[in-house]
Structure 1
Amino acid sequence: MAMALHHLFVVSAVFLLFVGGVSSEAEENNSRFSNIASATPAKPTYAPNPSPAPAPAPAPLLPPVDIKECPSLCEGRCLLHSRPNHCKRVCKTCCERCRCVPPGTAGNKKMCGKCYTDMTTHGNKLKCP
């Protein structure tokens, strides 16, 4: 019986040492993780924003044309228009006042400047084709 008590005592002592060792390791692990969890993560750093791209240069204005050239320039401008006679008449008026006809059959009005782009009819519609 004394031998059984001795074995029981040794087994219980080993068990207590084992459980105590595991719990102390668990406490160490918990304390390590609690430090990590409580620490605030570092804020990411970003590269500075690049400066905005410069504004594109305005379209170069065309040189003034001689009034004698207006009919031939307007002929080319109104070549594909649905109402070519009307387009030529209006184009000649704009050419004589603004001394400019934009290249191509449509668009490019800004190349002639504000005179050409802002001219309106009596009904406040844009005049120049």
Structure 2
Amino acid sequence: MAKLAWLPSAIVFMLVLAFVIQLSYAGGEGSLRLEECSKACDYRCSATQHTKPCLLFCNKCCAKCLCVPSGTYGHKEECPCYNNWKTKKGGPKCP
């Protein structure tokens, strides 16, 4: 039994490592290069009926923030710059 005493520590270490790796791919600010914005925005805007305006603003936001939240909707907390950029009227600028 003493031979397996390290097992709980190893499991905790692996879980923490997996969590850290997940965060690094979550799409935080600066996680994209400018040339990757187009592909990320294509996916982000793929589920909307308003594709052209979505792509226009998504690419604008990505060029400024170098990030696009994961998924086709929501998850804006992954990219504070993207989330906090507002229109003159105070609404969200980035889709």
Q: Give the TM bin, normalised by the shorter chain.
A: 0.5 to 0.7
Distance in 2, Cα, partners of 1:111 & 1:128: 13
Q: TM-score, normalised by structure 1?
A: 0.50
Q: Does 1:62 align with 2:27?
A: yes
Equivalent position amino acid for 2:83 in 1: T
- Code of the residue aligned with 1:62 in structure 2: it is G
Tell me which residue corresponds to 2:58.
91
Write the mapping of 1:1-129 to structure 2, written as runs, cut at 5 A: 60=23, 62-63=27-28, 64-112=31-79, 114-129=80-95
The CA distance in 2 between the partners of 1:107 and 1:65, in whole Å, is 18
Q: 1:62 offset after TM fit, Å?
A: 2.5
Separation in 1, partners of 2:57, 2:67: 13
Aligned partners of 1:79 and 1:71: how far apart in 2? 12
Once the two structures are superposed, residues 17-57 of structure 1 have per-residue CA deviations (whole angstroms, 9 ceiling, x without a partner) of xxxxxxxxxxxxxxxxxxxxxxxxxxxxxxxxxxxxxxxxx
Identity of aligned residues (%): 35
Structure 2 unpaired stretches of 5+: 1-22
The number of equivalent residue pairs is 70
Partner of 1:37: none
Which stretches of structure 1, 4 residues or longer, exceed 3 Å deviation after superposition? none
Is the 8 Å Cα contact of residues 27 and 70 (structure 2) preserved in structure 1?
no
In the superposition, the TM-score normalised over structure 2's length comes to 0.67
RMSD: 1.7
Shift of 1:82: 1.9
